[in-house]
A and B are shown apart, each in its own frame.
Chain A
């Protein structure tokens, strides 16, 4: 804090005006998040006050309690969705980090046939949005017979061109001499990968973690399309049933619960981002497409 105050004192007038207006813009854009935080802790009596209130007056954990208890009476308990989500996020995270790191390392430092072809396809696939081809993806999943399994959640995420691309751009700036030196010292490829590339690429790994966790933790495509078994679906899918009016969700009483669920969806992302923000900016410096 001291450093911030010191820097603000040193700013010129125009800079202070800029700072204040930007802080206002940021605060405005931040409103939805404040809203979720407050709404999640509002007791039932405050949710539908007139005039509507923004800040919670008597915070309570009632909504979180309801969120857990509401489904306990239903077919599938809340904890099951939560458990599925956690399993899927953790497995996907490790799978994506290792596959993309391995692929990126090879694409960056090895010479082999078809390398430029693979790279060209990855560049083209950067613009790919899985939402556009949901049906063929569903067919592929059925052929592989991984409906209603955790693999059906995890495998599609491994195909992440953005992760490989960001990773490759970052590894590109690890000097080749370093790897050559390790080879001369007799290190095997596996050793180079584990002891040299993995630690050096840590900022990129952190960035990929942020992007992957965000994508997986909020994903509903796998649950809606690939999982027919209710016990295999994940938390975000459950939340859609709370917020959509038609699907049996009670919109009036559901608001507080939905806000609590929304907060639950947001917090892991925020924590991970705060942990890795510096590393992420280091990686984004190399995100340029050349």
Chain B
């Protein structure tokens, strides 16, 4: 038995060396895979990974773009919580309100609209879906013209004209200059343009639901369409719903530009439509406090990370499902 023992023991001791060698040779054998992956991965690293890590690093510094960044520890974070009145009074509450209506509310709206459209016969469905998807194709930029004309503050503005004609208001309202309305208009406009890729993913998702499940559900005592949605449709298309919700989160995050486009200035009237992303731009490009701006964007990234975790919790598939 003794010689046997040594022979079995020796490879054990050699293990690390062999596995490194093995790994290297495996890497060499797989070289084609890495070559195929390389162009994407290099750009991905340069323009996504590196910027995110740089933002994390810069968030601990005081940096104006000219001098060397100076390490300040958690000072930026502390002053965000204790001193930044604009952030606490406007950016944060505005973002929460905006994100709630554009995120979950807009999401449910998208789902029901997609579901209703799915009830239509195939040929009509495509046309209706196109009409609803079209505004998101135009992009916020080109639509600025539309919203500025629609919400124009004089008699010529379409909304004012409409409301005056039917006697809802007596004098034209300065929609885009009045802080009370600005955020609401932003929300309406964003939801309006928000029927994007996520909407198409949901629409396609309905096709993946197994028809037989509905039959089985009816036998098992599902009484109405609403129950059908809850017990069959939603669970069956969870993957699409998850993709769609991730797209919704990205959409909400990006939405800072809308307040600039509507107001035509970097800062909306009395900070009424000031979102966290506008706060980042404000510090980065108007005040040149790049360290502080990076810190705010890191906070934004962290918030969106948790939003994504939450949607995985809601729609993610559990083991064995």
Residues of B within 8 A of A155 (CB): 43, 46-47
* Top 5 A-B residue pairs of the complex, sorted by shortest distance between their CB atoms: A288-B239, A262-B142, A218-B139, A284-B204, A136-B51
Of B117, B141, B165, B284, the residue contacting A220 (CB under 8 A) is: B141
Interface pair B250/A127, CB less than 8 Å apart: yes
Contact present for A285 and B204 (CB under 8 Å): yes
Complex A-B: 22 CB contacts under 8 Å? A4-B123, A18-B116, A26-B131, A32-B192, A36-B146, A102-B37, A103-B40, A111-B30, A132-B253, A132-B277, A133-B294, A133-B297, A134-B280, A218-B140, A265-B139, A270-B137, A282-B204, A283-B204, A287-B240, A288-B243, A289-B242, A289-B246
Identify whether the interface residues of B are mostly helix, strand, loop, or mixed: helix
CB pair A288 B238 closer than 8 Å: yes
A265 touches B149 (CB 8 A): no
CA separation between A36 and B261, bound complex, in Å? Answer: 16
* Contacting pair A48 B156 (CB below 8 A): yes
Q: Is residue A144 contacting chain B, with contact meaning CB distance below 8 A?
A: yes
On whether A32 and B143 interact (CB within 8 A), knowing A113-B26, A159-B44, the answer reads: yes
In the complex, identify which listed stretch (B2-10, B95-103, B227-235, B298-306) lies at the interface while the others stay far away. B298-306
B135 A29 Cβ-Cβ under 8 A: yes
Contact B239 A290 (CB under 8 A): yes
Say yes or no: B200 contacts A284, CB within 8 Å: yes
Known contacts A4-B123, A39-B145, A243-B144; decide if A129 and B132 are in contact (CB<8 Å): no
* Contact of B181 with A by CB under 8 A: no
User: Which residues, 15 to 58 on A, are CB-close (under 8 Å) to B?
Assistant: 15, 18-19, 22-23, 25-27, 29-30, 32-33, 35-36, 39, 48-52, 54
Nearest B residue to A122 by beta-carbon distance?
B44
- Which residue of chain B has its CB nearest to the CB of A109? B33
B interface footprint on A262-290 (CB within 8 Å = 1, 0 otherwise): 11011001100110010011111101111
Contacts A127-B304, A132-B280 hold; do A158 and B146 have CB atoms under 8 A apart? no
Taking the closest CB of chain A, its distance from the CB of B194, in whole angstroms, is 11
Which residue among B117, B124, B148, B237 has the maximum number of chain A CB atoms within 10 Å of its CB? B124
Interface range, B side: 35 or more
CB neighbors of A among B72-90 (8 A):
none
| Number of A-B residue pairs at CB separation under 8 A | 297
Write out the residue numbers on chain A whose beta carbons fall within 8 Å of the beta carbon of B71. none
Cβ B23 vs Cβ A113 within 8 A: yes
Interface residues, chain A, with chain B CB atoms under 8 Å away = 3-4, 7-8, 11, 15, 18-19, 22-23, 25-27, 29-30, 32-33, 35-36, 39, 48-52, 54, 98-100, 102-103, 105-107, 110-113, 118, 121-122, 124-137, 139-140, 144, 155-156, 158-159, 161-162, 164, 189, 193, 211, 214, 217-218, 220, 236, 239-240, 243-246, 251, 255, 258-259, 261-263, 265-266, 269-270, 273-274, 277, 280-285, 287-290
When distances are taken between beta carbons in the complex, the residues of chain A under 8 Å from B242 are: 288-289
B212 in the interface, Cβ–Cβ < 8 Å? Answer: no
Contacts known (A240-B141, A270-B137, A288-B239); A110 close to B30, Cβ less than 8 A:
yes
**Across the interface, which residues of A come within 8 angstroms of B316, CB to CB?**
289
Q: A39-B145, A112-B30, A285-B205 are in contact. Are A26 and B132 (CB under 8 A)?
A: yes
A218/B145 contact (C-beta < 8 A), A112-B33, A290-B317 known: no
- Cα distance, A124 to B238, chains bound together (Å): 18
Given contacts A8-B124, A189-B32, contact A50 B156 (CB under 8 A): yes
Task: Assess whether B50 is in contact with A118, with CB atoms less than 8 Å apart.
Answer: no
Q: A22-B117, A22-B120, A239-B141 are in contact. List 15 more A-B contacts (CB 8 A).
A: A4-B124, A30-B132, A32-B147, A35-B146, A125-B44, A126-B246, A131-B253, A132-B280, A139-B54, A193-B36, A239-B142, A269-B139, A277-B130, A285-B207, A288-B208
Which residues of A have CB within 8 Å of B55?
132-133, 135-136
Q: Whole-angstrom distance from the CB of A243 to the nearest CB of chain B?
A: 5
* B48 contact set on A, CB distance < 8 A: 125, 128, 130, 159, 161
In the complex, A127 Cα to B245 Cα: how many Å? 10
User: B37: which of A52, A103, A243, A263 is its contact (CB, 8 Å)?
Assistant: A103
For residue B119, which residues in chain A have a CB less than 8 angstroms away from its CB?
Answer: 15, 18
The interface residues of chain A lying within 8 Å CB-to-CB of B308 are: 124, 127
Taking CB atoms, residues of chain A closer than 8 Å to B221 are none
Known A52-B161, A126-B246, A289-B239; contact A259-B58, beta-carbon cutoff 8 A = no
Q: Is B145 in contact with A258, judged by CB distance below 8 angstroms? A: yes
In the complex, residue of chain A having the shortest beta-carbon distance to the beta carbon of B140: A218
> Quick one: which of B41, B145, B197 contacts A255, CB cutoff 8 A?
B145
Distance A284 CA – B49 CA, assembled complex (angstroms): 27
Query: Separation in Å of the B183 CB from the closest CB of chain A?
Result: 19
Which residues of chain B come closer than 8 Å to A244, judged between CB atoms? Answer: 264-265
Which of chain A's residues has its CB closest to B280's CB?
Answer: A132
Q: Which of the residues A26, A144, A164, A236 comes within 8 Å of B46, measured between beta carbons?
A: A144
6-55 of chain B: CB within 8 A of chain A? 23, 26-27, 30, 32-34, 36-37, 39-41, 43-44, 46-52, 54-55
User: How far apart are the CA atoms of A51 and B135 in the complex, in Å?
Assistant: 26
Q: Which residues of A have CB within 8 Å of B30?
A: 110-113
Q: A129-B254, A245-B264, A288-B239 are in contact. Are A136 and B123 (CB under 8 A)?
A: no
Q: Which of B96-127 contact A (CB under 8 A)?
A: 113, 116-117, 119-124, 126
- CA distance in complex: A259, B161 (Å): 20
A194 to B167, CA, bound (A): 65
Chain A minimum-CB-distance residue to B301: A132
